[in-house]
Every structure is written in C-alpha cells, then in structure tokens.
Amino acid sequence: MTVKPILAIDLGGSKLLLALVDGATVLDRAEAPTERAAGPEA
C-alpha cells in the first residue's frame, strides 16, 4: 500500500501555516500572516 503525502493546514488568528508531510517527514512548509486588523469579515 502506497501512502501519498498529506497537506496540513492551520488557519490561525495571526498566521496561516501549511505543511506537506509524508509520514513523520515534513517535505515542505509555508507561513503567511493573516490580516488581523481587517477583522473576521476579511
């Protein structure tokens, strides 16, 4: 059985985190700030 990499997404209040993982190995990751000042409607 072949396991494919998984995209993990964390939508936080101050930043957005993304990670591509294969088992316990992080293949790649990205981080971007959210627009907190724009409020929840942004």
* Cα–Cα dist 37/3, whole Å: 40
Asked if residue 37 has pLDDT above 80, the reply is no
E strands, 1-42, are 6-11, 15-22, 25-33
- The answer to whether the beta carbons of residues 16 and 31 sit under 8 Å apart is yes
Name the pairing type of β-strands 6-11 and 15-22: antiparallel
Q: Which letter does DSSP use for residue 14 in this model? A: S
**pLDDT on residue 42:** 63
2-30 pLDDT tens trace: 789 999 999 988 899 999 999 999 999 99
* Residue bearing the bigger pLDDT, 1 or 5: 5
Give the pLDDT score at 38. 74
Check residue 26 and give its pLDDT: 97
